[in-house]
Amino acid sequence: MTSPPTRPPRDGVPDHSTAHSTAHRTDHSNDHSTAHGTVGASRVHRPGRPDPALVEVDPRRWKDVRMTSHAGLSPFDPPDVEWTPVSPKLARARFIMVAVVGGLPLAGGVVAAALSGLAWLWAVPAVIGLLMLWDGLLIPRQVRAIGYAERADDLLIRKGILFRSLVVVPYGRMQYVDVQAGPLARAVGIASVQLHTASPGTDAVIDGLPPEEATRLRDRLASRGEARLAGL
């Protein structure tokens, strides 16, 4: 493009209007070519609006969206399920078992260490005592983690703290249901419901139920299992 001729300066004074118009055209052409040539294939970011390139390409943004969409989901907590806890008396029964099973070795270790006079032998009752203390701390949490839920087609049973498990027992696979209670369970007033299915590996048990709840659950599960088998 041929630039327009400049007028000669009058009395040695340069023509500022011509220089200003030329500079304005040059700046405008540079801005125009930069907007259409340099930016070219990329999107033009407008102030005040989020950059679309960040939303589509930035992996950090995608990671945040993915984590937010899956937040709160767990295979051990299905949605729309109301869990029924077991009786707190189950913790009392387990405390008694820990005291009986660990108390005898603890007493024997203390007596042996005291009679022998060997200092290192006190490590045996110390280890047994720590294990009993650890069990005593875990038992209340383990009992609170046990629960069951009756759904339209199956029964859910969950348990465990460090190693959690969720068992799904379809009503149609139940063969029979029975109630069990040993001497200690009867002493504290609890019972267990044993679920027997077509496969022995899928049997399940619910411990720590009050006797009346165990009877009700046994009859309800048996009737639902018979109804599903009859429907098949």
Q: What is the pLDDT of residues 186-226, one digit of tens each?
A: 999 999 999 988 777 777 999 999 999 999 999 999 898 88
Q: Among the ranges 10-14, 175-179, 202-206, which has the highest mean pLDDT value?
A: 175-179
Together in a domain, 185 and 212 = yes
Average pLDDT, the chain: 77
Long-range CB pairs of 50-57 (<8 Å, 24+ gap) are none
Name which residue leads in pLDDT, 73 or 111.
Answer: 111
**Is 202 a member of any domain?**
yes
Residue 125 has pLDDT above 60, yes or no: yes
**Is 77 a member of any domain?**
no
**Is 74 a member of any domain?**
no
CA dist 226 and 176 (Å) reads: 9
pLDDT of residue 198: 78
CA dist 156 and 4 (Å) reads: 88
Together in a domain, 181 and 106 = no
**Is 128 a member of any domain?**
yes
> What's the predicted TM-score (pTM) here?
0.64
**Is 53 a member of any domain?**
no
Number of domains comprising the chain:
2
Together in a domain, 157 and 224 = yes
Together in a domain, 154 and 224 = yes
Of 145, 174, 189, which marks where a domain is finished? 145
Domain interval for residue 187: 148-231
